[in-house]
Amino acid sequence: MHEEPKLFGVTDGKAIGTHLEAKFQHSLHEKYAYDRGNAAKGIDFPSLDVDIKVTSIRQPQSSCPFRSARQKVFGLGYSLLVFVYDKHDDEKSRTGRLGILHTVFVEKSRTADFQTTTGLRRLIDNGANKDDILAFFEERMLPMDAIEAGHLADEVLRTPPVIGYLTVSNALQWRLQYSRVIEQAGSVEGILRLQ
């Protein structure tokens, strides 16, 4: 609802996300005492294992630090609070306005890659062995060496992954895409539609 002169003409998603996160943190800080995250800690609410992601409805995605290929199979290791906005500028008042279209909470158990986890579950349901899992990792071009792949394959066979609902693209940083969580919010356990 707020018209913000600082956002007028701004198209950089990172700047918009930083602005919204700062406003949200400020609002929370007025009401609650909590451990505030920072870039060194890696996530916004470290004591809760929750990170904030702000993304445009036009291309609902963001980046995330790469720790290991295991994140694509078993999730990021923390939950996500995703704000999806649509931004409009008012030429007359020279202000920008963010309309928050969706607010979605993704539990950490659901932050793995959808195609990877569904593919692994399908293999396991069909009686896959370690070689099958390793071949799947190679086909998916998961960024890891042979030793790490072997350990991960053993872990998958011992503890099959829960279906994740993000699209996690390989890159120097993970590229997270949120279309599926927006669609599934409220209908899948672990993905809550807050707004």
C-alpha to C-alpha distance for 116 and 97, rounded to whole angstroms: 37
Sequence-separated (6 or more) residues with CB below 8 Å from residue 151: none
Cα gap 150→176, rounded to integer Å = 25
Phi, psi angle pair for 182, to nearest 5°: -65, -45
Percent of the chain with pLDDT over 70: 97
Q: Which two tokens stand for residue 63?
A: 């980046």
Give the pLDDT score at 39. Answer: 54
* Residue 172 pLDDT greater than 70, yes or no: no
Amino acid at site 34: Y
User: Is residue 96 classed as helix, strand or coil in its secondary structure?
Assistant: strand
pLDDT of residue 189: 94
Per-residue pLDDT of 8-28, as tens digits, reads: 999 888 899 889 998 998 999
Nearest to 56 by CA among 79, 85, 20, 25: 85
Pseudo-torsion of CA 42, 43, 44, 48, nearest 10°? -140
Number of Cβ atoms within 10 Å of the Cβ of 50: 18
151 φ, ψ to 5°?
-60, -40
The span from the CA of 59 to the CA of 177, in Å, is 8
Averaged over 123-144, what is the pLDDT? 96
Q: How crowded is residue 127: how many other Cβ atoms within 10 Å of its Cβ?
A: 7
* pLDDT attached to residue 123: 98
pTM for the whole thing? 0.88
In this predicted structure, what is the pLDDT of residue 41? Answer: 59
pLDDT tens digits for 62-82? 888 888 999 999 999 999 999
* Confidence band of 190 (pLDDT split at 50, 70, 90): very high
Nearest to 106 by CA among 174, 162, 65, 56: 162
pLDDT value at position 2? 74
